[in-house]
A and B are shown apart, each in its own frame.
Chain A
Amino acid sequence: MKADDLLFISVGGAAASVAQNIAQRTRRDASQPPMRVLILDTDDAVLQHVTHADGVSVTIFGTQRLSGRGTGGDHILGMSAFRDDAAGIMQQIGSPRLVIVLTCCGGGTSGACEPLLRLLRDRGIANIVFATEPFAFEGEARKRSASVILPTLCETANAVTTVPLASLLAGKEDELTAAQAFDYAADRLAAGICLLWTQLVYPGYIQFDVEHFRLFLERESVSTVAFTFADTIATGDQRAERVVASLLQSPRFQMRGVNCLMNAHQVIVGVLAGDDLRLCELDTLMTGLKAGLGKQAEVTLGTVNHEAFNGKLEVVLLAFTPSGVDLPIAGDALQSVRKRSGKSSRAKALSAVKDRFDDVERTIIDGVNYDTPTYLRRNIRLKR
Chain B
Amino acid sequence: MATRILGALDIGTQTTTLAAGEVVDGQLKVLRVVSVPTYGVKKGVIRNIGEVTQTIRKAALEMAKQGLDLYDVTTSFSAQGITTACRKGSKSFVSLAVMTEEDAEEAQEMAFSVESADSSNVSLQRFQQRFRVNDQSVESPVGMKGNSLEASVLEMLAPRTAVEALHTAITQAGMHTTETVFSGCADATTVLDAQTRSDGALVINFGAGTCDYLAIANRIVVAAGTLGIGGHHLTNDLAQAFQVNQDVAERMKIDCGAAQIQPDLANERYSLRSTFSAERTVSMHAIQTVTTERVNETLHLLRDILCKQGVYLSDLHGGVWLTGGTAALPNIVDQVSAVLECPCRIGVPLNLVSLPEEAQKAPYRYATVVGLLQYRMRTLASEIDKPSFFTRMRTFFRG
Interface residues of A (CB under 8 A from B): 351-357, 359-361, 363, 365, 370-371, 373-376, 378, 380, 382-384
Return chain A residues, CB-CB under 8 Å to B237. 373-375
Q: Are B283 and A384 neighbours in the complex by a CB distance under 8 Å?
A: yes
Q: Are A353 and B244 neighbours in the complex by a CB distance under 8 Å?
A: yes
Known pairs A360-B45, A384-B282, A384-B286; list 4 more (Cβ under 8 Å): A353-B240, A355-B240, A374-B294, A374-B297
Q: Are B286 and A371 neighbours in the complex by a CB distance under 8 Å?
A: no
Q: Is B88 among interface residues, defined by CB-CB distance under 8 A?
A: no
Which of B228, B245, B283 has the most CB atoms of chain A within a 10 A radius of its CB? B228
> Using a Cβ–Cβ cut-off of 8 Å, how many residues does chain B contribute to the interface with A?
32
Number of residue pairs A-B, CB distance < 8 angstroms:
81
Q: Which of B272-331 contact A (CB under 8 A)?
A: 282-283, 285-286, 289-290, 293-294, 296-297, 301
CB distance from B281 to the nearest CB of A (A): 10
B97-110 interface mask toward A, CB cutoff 8 Å, 1 = contact, 0 = none? 00000000000000
In the assembly, what is the distance between CA of A157 and CA of B241, in Å? Answer: 21
Q: Is B87 among interface residues, defined by CB-CB distance under 8 A?
A: no
Q: Are B294 and A373 neighbours in the complex by a CB distance under 8 Å?
A: yes
Q: Are A360 and B243 neighbours in the complex by a CB distance under 8 Å?
A: no
Given contacts A355-B236, A356-B239, contact A383 B43 (CB under 8 A): no
Return chain B residues, CB-CB under 8 Å to A357. 42-43, 236
Measured CB to CB, the nearest residue on chain B to A360 is B42
Q: Is B221 among interface residues, defined by CB-CB distance under 8 A?
A: no
Q: Is B246 among interface residues, defined by CB-CB distance under 8 A?
A: yes
Q: Is B132 among interface residues, defined by CB-CB distance under 8 A?
A: no
Return chain B residues, CB-CB under 8 Å to A376. 240
Q: Is B232 among interface residues, defined by CB-CB distance under 8 A?
A: yes
Q: Are A363 and B228 neighbours in the complex by a CB distance under 8 Å?
A: yes
Q: Are A356 and B241 neighbours in the complex by a CB distance under 8 Å?
A: no
Q: Are B42 and A353 neighbours in the complex by a CB distance under 8 Å?
A: no
In the assembly, what is the distance between CA of A374 and CA of B290, in Å? Answer: 7
Q: Is B229 among interface residues, defined by CB-CB distance under 8 A?
A: yes
Q: Is B47 among interface residues, defined by CB-CB distance under 8 A?
A: yes
Given contacts A356-B236, A360-B43, contact A383 B285 (CB under 8 A): yes
Which single member of B45, B47, B81, B290 contacts A382 (CB below 8 Å)? B290
Q: Is B17 among interface residues, defined by CB-CB distance under 8 A?
A: no
Q: Is B32 among interface residues, defined by CB-CB distance under 8 A?
A: no
Q: Is B186 among interface residues, defined by CB-CB distance under 8 A?
A: no
Which single member of A351, A361, A384 contacts B240 (CB below 8 Å)? A351
Q: Is the contact region of chain B dominated by helix, strand, or loop, or is it mixed?
A: helix
Measured CB to CB, the nearest residue on chain B to A352 is B243
Return chain B residues, CB-CB under 8 Å to A353. 239-240, 243-245
B223-261 interface mask toward A, CB cutoff 8 Å, 1 = contact, 0 = none? 000011100110111011101111000000000000000
In the assembly, what is the distance between CA of A359 and CA of B236, in Å? Answer: 14
Q: Are A375 and B282 neighbours in the complex by a CB distance under 8 Å?
A: no
Q: Is B16 among interface residues, defined by CB-CB distance under 8 A?
A: no
Q: Is B80 among interface residues, defined by CB-CB distance under 8 A?
A: yes
Measured CB to CB, the nearest residue on chain B to A378 is B293
Return chain A residues, CB-CB under 8 Å to B241. 373, 375, 382
In the assembly, what is the distance between CA of A352 and CA of B122, in Å? Answer: 40
In the assembly, what is the distance between CA of A380 and CA of B237, in Å? Answer: 12
CB distance from A24 to the nearest CB of B (A): 38
CB distance from A365 to the nearest CB of B (A): 7
Q: Are B236 and A373 neighbours in the complex by a CB distance under 8 Å?
A: yes
Return chain A residues, CB-CB under 8 Å to B43. 357, 360-361, 363
In the assembly, what is the distance between CA of A361 and CA of B232, in Å? Answer: 14
Return chain A residues, CB-CB under 8 Å to B293. 374-375, 378, 380
Measured CB to CB, the nearest residue on chain A to B296 is A374
CB distance from A223 to the nearest CB of B (A): 19
Q: Are A383 and B236 neighbours in the complex by a CB distance under 8 Å?
A: no
Which single member of A351, A355, A356, A375 contacts B243 (CB below 8 Å)? A351
Return chain A residues, CB-CB under 8 Å to B229. 363, 370
In the assembly, what is the distance between CA of A378 and CA of B244, in Å? Answer: 21
Return chain B residues, CB-CB under 8 Å to A360. 42-43, 45, 47
CB distance from A240 to the nearest CB of B (A): 51
Q: Are A365 and B301 neighbours in the complex by a CB distance under 8 Å?
A: yes
In the assembly, what is the distance between CA of A380 and CA of B293, in Å? Answer: 9
Q: Which 8 A-B pairs have the closest CB atoms?
A: A363-B228, A373-B237, A382-B286, A360-B42, A356-B236, A374-B293, A374-B294, A374-B297
Return chain A residues, CB-CB under 8 Å to B45. 360-361
In the assembly, what is the distance between CA of A28 and CA of B317, in Å? Answer: 74
Q: Are B290 and A375 neighbours in the complex by a CB distance under 8 Å?
A: yes
Measured CB to CB, the nearest residue on chain A to B290 is A375
In the assembly, what is the distance between CA of A373 and CA of B237, in Å? Answer: 5
Measured CB to CB, the nearest residue on chain A to B209 is A360
In the assembly, what is the distance between CA of A353 and CA of B241, in Å? Answer: 10
Q: Are B80 and A375 neighbours in the complex by a CB distance under 8 Å?
A: no
